[in-house]
Structure 1
Amino acid sequence: MSLVPPESASADLTKGTDEGFRFQLPQFLQARSGAMTRELLLQPGKHGLGMTPDSLLADTTTTATCGYCATGCGLRLHLRDGQAVGLTPETNYPVNMGMACPKGWEALRVLDSEHRATHPLVRDPSGELVTTDWKEALQKFCDGFRKVQQNHGPESVAFLSTGQIACEEMAFLGALAKFGMGMRHGDGNTRQCMATAVTAYKESFGFDAPPFTYADFEQSDCLVFVGANPCIGHPIMWERVLRNPNQPDIIVLDPRRTETANAATQHLQLRPKCDLKVLYAITNVLIAEGFVDHEFVNAHTSGYDDLVRCVRDFSVESVAEESGLEAERIREAARTIGRSSAVSLWWTMGVNQSYEGVRTAQAIINIALLTGNIGRPGTGPNSITGQCNAMGSRLWSNTTNLLGHRKFECEQDRMDVADILGIDVGRLPTEGSWAYDRIIDGIRNGEIRGLWVIATNPAHSWIQRNELRELLGQLDFFVVQDMYRNTDTVAHADLVLPAAGWGEKDGTFINSERRYGRIKKVKRAPGLALADFQIFRAIAHAWGCGDMFRGWTDPESVFQIMKRLSAGRPCDITGIEGFDQLDQCGGIQWPWSTEDSQRGAPDQERRLFADGAFCTDDGRAKLIVDQVSPAPETPCDDYPFWLLTGRGSVSQWHTQTRTDKSPVLRKLYPNQPYIEINPSDAARLMITNGGLVSVRSRRGEVTVRSAVTTSVAAGQLFMPMHYEEANVLTLSHFDPHSRQPSYKDCAVDLEPLKD
């Protein structure tokens, strides 16, 4: 849903009038949210989106970046007495230009929930979580983790972080845990969504460097979406596609007939886990039919001969038979790409959450490089990020990479960081952390005995989640830091630290196009809840390492430290003066160095690699190929269906810890879990639309409602990831390069139940 002012309308939305404005409710949203009407949106006191009677009395406004997804929309917050009373999309922000999805409109409302964590909670001898104060909570935090370390060694404690908190908080957490508290192991929930893209970019380009800007959606004459459904997952990005004046070809590779696939000019509805083969077959056609930009390839890439030898084994005819596609459809897609002048290729979780996701992402990167579609308007191999600050986590969380995408294993990197931070280099670990799945294995085998979880809900979101819930009970000490006290993970905690949410603290996020944007404190956090930044400061003092962070007084002071840590690196931001300049410029994309700033103000849209120089040792991008691996678990007689998972609607988000707090958003999606099934399968099994069904995998069994639809092919099922039932069924298998879980493929059985 977008609010679009016509040219004649005033850009001042604080007057509370809807005259001159038109609401656009795209067809995909109408189909999934029939309860949403224009009257509902603007009805005072009836849970309307964004604007409320209070907001009509706002006396000033400010802007901030939205805290849901990595699109990074700008929102105008309407303030009265310094407190936000409503919001509208910011018309001048270069990301969304006056548009917002339903989640953005409701970003303030979800803060006002009876389920907020307002006081520290500690588990008493009877097993109940009871209220305590910060003094006792900090003491229990330090005593609990120190006891585990004393009994089992310093590496027996770990943390699991997030893509939901500010960059400055991520940097503080990673430095505190690893340099101050002596933890070696810590990873983020971005491992679940973006690790594949990170690994693919680092191997191919020499640095985790998404090259694009959102203007490319509007400047391509061919857009390719692989395992991506931006119409639902990133609706404002899709709005930018709809603004493309070039009547572009839109090619979608997806087993489901998604909302994005319905809008495509070519939908390659391939069988699950055949995407790498199909991409190699497309590459084979591009080479065989002369669509390679040899001048670019010779000057700026390496590995071409190995790539040619590899893809020769993927003939169009053989891949068509395996993937369930017509051979001519594969050739048509390849020729469309080859003949287009500005091709952009986009992927998200359908690629990333795969046991061979890195090589699939690199197959996409290879196509862009072979055809010279990089560094120019409307081009690029472009990973769409999931969480609001997953990009910040990739650079600044200090988890498996040292700050600023350095390496813990590199002595020079450690010395540089220690020198910039003014600490003893001996406090820096000399090895990187275990990845998320290895930390979970560590709990299983007794190596990890203490765990600190910050702003994430793994008891719902982790693959094969029933086992994880059992493992959390084996920990000697378990701390959860969250803004809500009713999450699946909080239920297992020994100590709960109440955190402020978006809108209740300051800092920066980085969106999918590398844009640093501001978040701002425009509301008071409830009760004794504190910003994560202040919680980390308090822990540092309680632990006894406060002097190490004496210069880390507030988020902007840490931003200045981050600038020094970025100097001379591909992610250099030394040219950004500070938070005020981010406001004035509508955010700033990295890199923006001191040298860049001397040329003037930053352009709002900038791409990487326009000069053909990459971040590798020889300056060339690497064309990387590999053998195709069979799926670890395929349908069989006992489990005859493929289960696919993904986003269910525009209005749901992750484990619904926020979106289910909004009465408006709850009206826009089914509150009961459901599974999509093809009509032919439903008829064969005598399953009726809306009826109860049992879904069973080798890991567990759940009961959900059926949704009979042609959006899934026969022999396949689809369940939205937002319901906790989905990860009862999923299989724990991982990409060997990125260690990202493969959520989107496992074998299940299905049978009808009586209501």
Structure 2
Amino acid sequence: MNAIDTGLTTVRTTCAYCGVGCGVLATPDKQGGAAIAGDPDHPANYGRLCSKGSALGETLALDERLLHPMMRDASGAMVRAGWNDALDHVADGFRHIVAEHGPGAVAFYLSGQLLTEDYYVANKLMKGFIGSANVDTNSRLCMASSVVGHKRAFGADTVPGCYEDLDQADLLVFVGSNAAWCHPVLYQRMLANKQARGARFVVIDPRRTDTVGDDDLFLGLKPGTDTALFSGLLAYLADNGALDRAYIAQHTSGFDEALARAKTIAGSVAATARATGLNEVDVATFFQMFRQTSRVVTLYSQGVNQSAQGTDKVNAIINCHLATGRIGKPGASPFSLTGQPNAMGGREVGGLANQLAAHMGFTPSDIDRVRRFWKAPHIATHEGLKAVAMFDAIDRGEIKALWVMGTNPAVSLPDADKVRSALGKLDLFVVSENVLSNDTVNAGAHVLLPALAWGEKSGTVTNSERRISRQRSFLRAPGEAKPDWWALSEVAKRLGFGAGFAYTSAAQIFREHAMLSDFENDGSRDFDIGGLMHVTDDAFDTMAPVQWPLRKGPTMQQARFFAKGRFFTRDQRGQFIAPEAPELRTQVTEERPLRLNTGRVRDQWHTMTRTGLSPRLGQHIPEPYVEIHPDDATRFAIADGGYAHLTTDYGACTLKVVINERQQPGMLFAPIHWNDETAGYARVGALVAPVVDPYSGQPENKATPVSIAAVAMSQRGFILSRKPLALPPGVVHARVAVTGGVGYLLADDAEIALWRDWLAPLLGDDVASFADAGRGAYRAVSFAGERIALCLFVGPADDALSWDAVKEAFAADALSDDQRRMLLSGRSADGAASAGPIVCACFGVGRNAINDAIAAGCATAGEIGAKLKAGTNCGSCIPELKRLIAAGEAEPDQQRKVAAS
């Protein structure tokens, strides 16, 4: 089951997306693709996959892959190079820069997409042998505040609970977590608990996300006031006899100081309501639910972490669990929902600039221990620069060489335009990637190294509950692509460190990683997988998912921590932390009167380099948008379905508008995924203020002051092409994967002559066209044999133009005479109705079919599922099904709001 496929063998591996860590069964088809299914035996998902995981098989094509090393020649062009030349260039560049400017002038920027073995070698090379701790990761952008909150409270970055707690809790509190969209497999598990055991849900979020649909209580608090809410809860628990005094006395310290601070922030229900903008009844109801329920899991994610006070928010939550002894017990713990597939693995090996490997830090004893284990006399002795500070140092010219691996910082970091500019200043800019082009690559990379992609990688990842799973290769490496650990080791050898990097397999690296976790660890460190340090190559290949710690000797896996104290602090007591009073670091002004909140949508991932390849995943929300409350839309004359220009002190975007009451007045929401590769004028990261938490260095992505103004568009339309195109400048567009090629949704304020002139050189000899200059309409289709090669449809902006029928014709290998005749009309030759926007990505079920089922009598999501299969896989579309049922026969403008809400 676990070897590289040579027939149609099914391989057990792990999903490449979020931190849930779902097991996947991949069955290669011998043509470079694979059938994908959930692994029913994996304890993270028991066979269930979300829409993104289900579509992994659609992301395996090599069309946009980087398959060979490339280097920039004297003319500035990127040209193919051999591995030896590329690696020599990288090593020579790092050597010369370190010799002239010191180890602080070089850096690595890593990714939660890397396997643990890649992460381990990168950290060992930079921190252990080059001697710089300038190694950070895009995980800094999603969970760094949780790391620091854990370390302040527990003495180590320890997740106390496990997924079983989600089944056993009686109260599940979601804080800044849209789990229904971002962690749908776990969310469905929690829904099963609600349905079977009656567990109650409380959702705490400024936005009414799809997680709200199943709640028992929704608290739409003001942005940035989570600390006030949980400070008020701590004060309430103390005043109402709900503390576990024995646990506090025996296993913790700092309680009196933390309680005193909490009472100054929000010492009563009324004070909490004033501080958070909530009503007193809702606050009192939440406090009573928490007090009266012994089995409580508080789940928090980016809404907590991505904040200039993220660490204090984390500790305010943990304080309430410590105060009630609800930690490390079945159904009771604070729980951080991790964003990336191996953010946890990166934390284990020191992937953050303020960590050493094996959960050790930059203390003299830990530095000495790791130095001796690695035999690394030049080990870094102090913390390095965290992500935002690292790119600021690049901009100032202090860091002169950067190696980016598996991430896209020119899109994902705050103040992204400045980041892109900074990358162009480097003396040496190396990118390890599996895509030929993205915003970061195009920012001036000097060397491109082809990395393995999901499906080709072999190693391990760790999920949110500390469970290590194997990611196994089921496709052969294409072209000259290599593992990241191999490229790093080859550079290390060229730098003279060969003895420490003589690796020949991921299994060998894993054994060393496990040995270090055990080295001089008598139980004083939480991360310990010493029980696996002698695993053989065969045993590594077949290794089942395993939860740490797994210490050497006859010990069992440990699911939970801290029920009986024994923290990893010096006195083995959990630490209550007195948080600062909440205060947003940036202020709205007359010029920037709103706040911008950024986040994810259901079917896309990060900067879309993988999900953007799937036709299925691009159909639910195909283009970038901004969500605005009706009151603000009226105030700023913004029209639903129109376009708006967003401006902050750092950048600007032009996005489609969705007016929605689920958005809080005074706030805008825009998704993070689109970039210059997939859209025009939609790099939302360029808008975000580079304000960070003082403890974790994590950026504030949820509250940047912003202005909004309507943008007039005279035309809208679409293009379908067999290959990507360079569109005319100034066109607002979104690129969407479609069956057989690529599609573009367009909006502009130009004349149709622009499109005729641009399209003319691209058309072949067999062309059908239509033009109406008076209406501003132009349609042209170019044929290659019996199928469409290229088509363009543009028309008046107020004339809704569906591309469903044309996409269906584009996907066909051959068109009938009737289809060709009807093509320019944009209608189906057989008169079939458009499916409408896709609601269920797993089974491709459109909104029109769902509305038809509702009109025919389907009154529940279950009945729709029985009829159409919608909602029966990952379940993330169920909230939308419920809204459609409630709306009945929704009007088109209402449907638009439903689609993007």
TM-score (norm 1): 0.88
Aligned mates of 1:167, 1:261 — CA distance in 2: 35
Deviation at 1:84, TM superposition (A): 6.5
Alignment of 1:272-291 (within 5 A): 272-291=223-242
For residues 690 and 339 of structure 1, do their structure 2 counterparts lie closer, same or farther at Cα, with a shift above 3 Å needed?
Answer: same
Deviation at 1:161, TM superposition (A): 1.1
Alignment of 1:122-133 (within 5 A): 122-133=71-82
Q: 2:499 aligns with which of 543, 547, 566?
A: 547
CA distances 1:695-731 after superposition (whole Å, capped 9, x unpaired): 1111122111001111101111100111242112110
- Is 1:440 the counterpart of 2:396? The answer is no
For residues 706 and 369 of structure 1, do their structure 2 counterparts lie closer, same or farther at Cα, with a shift above 3 Å needed?
Answer: same
Aligned mates of 1:172, 1:312 — CA distance in 2: 47
Segments of structure 1 that go 5 or more residues without pairing to the other structure are 1-11, 13-54
Aligned mates of 1:723, 1:561 — CA distance in 2: 39
- The answer to whether the 8 A contact 1:348-1:385 is kept is yes
Specify the code of the residue in structure 1 equivalent to 2:608: Q
- The answer to whether the 8 A contact 2:112-2:340 is kept is yes
Deviation at 1:580, TM superposition (A): 5.8
Query: Secondary structure, in 3 states, of the residue corresponding to 1:722?
Result: coil
- Is 1:466 the counterpart of 2:417? The answer is yes
Deviation at 1:397, TM superposition (A): 3.7
Segments of structure 2 that go 5 or more residues without pairing to the other structure are 676-682, 714-901
Alignment of 1:662-681 (within 5 A): 662-670=614-622, 672-681=623-632
- Is 1:302 the counterpart of 2:242? The answer is no
Specify the code of the residue in structure 2 equivalent to 1:561: E
Aligned mates of 2:205, 2:634 — CA distance in 1: 24
Specify the code of the residue in structure 2 equivalent to 1:349: Q
Deviation at 1:61, TM superposition (A): 1.6
Q: 1:419 aligns with which of 366, 372, 384?
A: 372
Q: Which moved more, 1:447-456 or 1:310-319?
A: 310-319
Aligned mates of 2:367, 2:650 — CA distance in 1: 42
- Is 1:394 the counterpart of 2:343? The answer is no
Query: Relative CO higher for 1 or 2, CA cutoff 8 Å, sep ≥ 6?
Result: 1
Aligned to 1:25: none
Specify the code of the residue in structure 2 equivalent to 1:297: I
Q: 1:85 aligns with which of 34, 38, 41?
A: 34
Q: 2:310 aligns with which of 357, 363, 369?
A: 357
Deviation at 1:58, TM superposition (A): 6.0
- Is 1:209 the counterpart of 2:158? The answer is yes
Q: 2:507 aligns with which of 553, 556, 559?
A: 556
Aligned mates of 1:130, 1:663 — CA distance in 2: 31
Query: Secondary structure, in 3 states, of the residue corresponding to 2:402?
Result: strand
Aligned mates of 1:79, 1:233 — CA distance in 2: 27
Query: Secondary structure, in 3 states, of the residue corresponding to 2:695?
Result: coil
Q: CA RMSD in A?
A: 2.0
Aligned mates of 1:81, 1:370 — CA distance in 2: 57
Aligned to 1:722: 673
- The answer to whether the 8 A contact 1:113-1:661 is kept is no
- Is 1:99 the counterpart of 2:51? The answer is no
Aligned mates of 1:252, 1:509 — CA distance in 2: 29
Aligned mates of 1:316, 1:67 — CA distance in 2: 43
Aligned to 1:572: 528
CA distances 1:417-470 after superposition (whole Å, capped 9, x unpaired): 23333x24x221221212222212211222111111111110000101011111
Specify the code of the residue in structure 2 equivalent to 1:347: Y
Aligned mates of 1:81, 1:652 — CA distance in 2: 27
Deviation at 1:529, TM superposition (A): 1.1
For residues 376 and 687 of structure 1, do their structure 2 counterparts lie closer, same or farther at Cα, with a shift above 3 Å needed?
Answer: same
Specify the code of the residue in structure 1 equivalent to 2:457: K
Specify the code of the residue in structure 1 equivalent to 2:468: Y
Deviation at 1:474, TM superposition (A): 1.3
Q: Which moved more, 1:336-345 or 1:693-702?
A: 693-702
Query: Secondary structure, in 3 states, of the residue corresponding to 1:560?
Result: helix
Deviation at 1:629, TM superposition (A): 4.1
Alignment of 1:275-354 (within 5 A): 275-313=226-264, 314=266, 315-354=268-307
Deviation at 1:321, TM superposition (A): 2.3
Specify the code of the residue in structure 2 equivalent to 1:408: F
Specify the code of the residue in structure 1 equivalent to 2:200: D
- Is 1:511 the counterpart of 2:463? The answer is yes
Deviation at 1:581, TM superposition (A): 5.5
Q: Which moved more, 1:341-350 or 1:77-86?
A: 77-86
Aligned to 1:34: none
Q: 1:709 aligns with which of 649, 657, 660?
A: 660
Alignment of 1:5-404 (within 5 A): 59-79=8-28, 85-244=34-193, 245-313=196-264, 314=266, 315-397=268-350, 399-404=353-358
Aligned to 1:475: 426
For residues 582 and 251 of structure 1, do their structure 2 counterparts lie closer, same or farther at Cα, with a shift above 3 Å needed?
Answer: farther
Aligned mates of 1:347, 1:222 — CA distance in 2: 14
Q: Which moved more, 1:313-322 or 1:260-269?
A: 313-322
Query: Secondary structure, in 3 states, of the residue corresponding to 1:127?
Result: coil
- The answer to whether the 8 A contact 1:250-1:265 is kept is yes
Aligned to 1:741: 699
- Is 1:496 the counterpart of 2:448? The answer is yes
For residues 59 and 452 of structure 1, do their structure 2 counterparts lie closer, same or farther at Cα, with a shift above 3 Å needed?
Answer: closer
Identity %: 35
Deviation at 1:668, TM superposition (A): 3.0
Alignment of 1:648-659 (within 5 A): 648-649=601-602, 651-659=603-611
Deviation at 1:740, TM superposition (A): 0.7
Query: Secondary structure, in 3 states, of the residue corresponding to 1:360?
Result: helix
Deviation at 1:83, TM superposition (A): 7.6
Query: Secondary structure, in 3 states, of the residue corresponding to 1:403?
Result: coil
Query: Secondary structure, in 3 states, of the residue corresponding to 1:663?
Result: coil
Q: Which moved more, 1:279-288 or 1:727-736?
A: 279-288
For residues 585 and 329 of structure 1, do their structure 2 counterparts lie closer, same or farther at Cα, with a shift above 3 Å needed?
Answer: farther
Deviation at 1:80, TM superposition (A): 6.0
Specify the code of the residue in structure 1 equivalent to 2:709: E
Aligned mates of 2:672, 2:291 — CA distance in 1: 35
- The answer to whether the 8 A contact 1:162-1:455 is kept is yes
Aligned mates of 2:202, 2:618 — CA distance in 1: 32
- The answer to whether the 8 A contact 2:128-2:371 is kept is no
Deviation at 1:687, TM superposition (A): 2.1
- Is 1:408 the counterpart of 2:362? The answer is yes
Deviation at 1:143, TM superposition (A): 2.2
Deviation at 1:81, TM superposition (A): 6.9
Deviation at 1:372, TM superposition (A): 1.6
Q: 2:643 aligns with which of 682, 686, 692?
A: 692
Query: Secondary structure, in 3 states, of the residue corresponding to 1:358?
Result: helix
The number of residue pairs the alignment matches comes to 690
Query: Secondary structure, in 3 states, of the residue corresponding to 2:655?
Result: strand
For residues 82 and 374 of structure 1, do their structure 2 counterparts lie closer, same or farther at Cα, with a shift above 3 Å needed?
Answer: farther
- The answer to whether the 8 A contact 1:676-1:708 is kept is yes
Aligned to 1:16: none
Q: Which moved more, 1:299-308 or 1:222-231?
A: 299-308
Which structure has the larger Rg?
2
TM-score (norm 2): 0.74
- The answer to whether the 8 A contact 2:132-2:379 is kept is no
For residues 499 and 397 of structure 1, do their structure 2 counterparts lie closer, same or farther at Cα, with a shift above 3 Å needed?
Answer: farther
Query: Secondary structure, in 3 states, of the residue corresponding to 1:150?
Result: helix
Deviation at 1:680, TM superposition (A): 2.1
For residues 323 and 414 of structure 1, do their structure 2 counterparts lie closer, same or farther at Cα, with a shift above 3 Å needed?
Answer: closer
Q: Which moved more, 1:234-243 or 1:678-687?
A: 678-687
For residues 570 and 107 of structure 1, do their structure 2 counterparts lie closer, same or farther at Cα, with a shift above 3 Å needed?
Answer: same
For residues 372 and 408 of structure 1, do their structure 2 counterparts lie closer, same or farther at Cα, with a shift above 3 Å needed?
Answer: closer
Specify the code of the residue in structure 2 equivalent to 1:377: P
Aligned to 1:647: 600
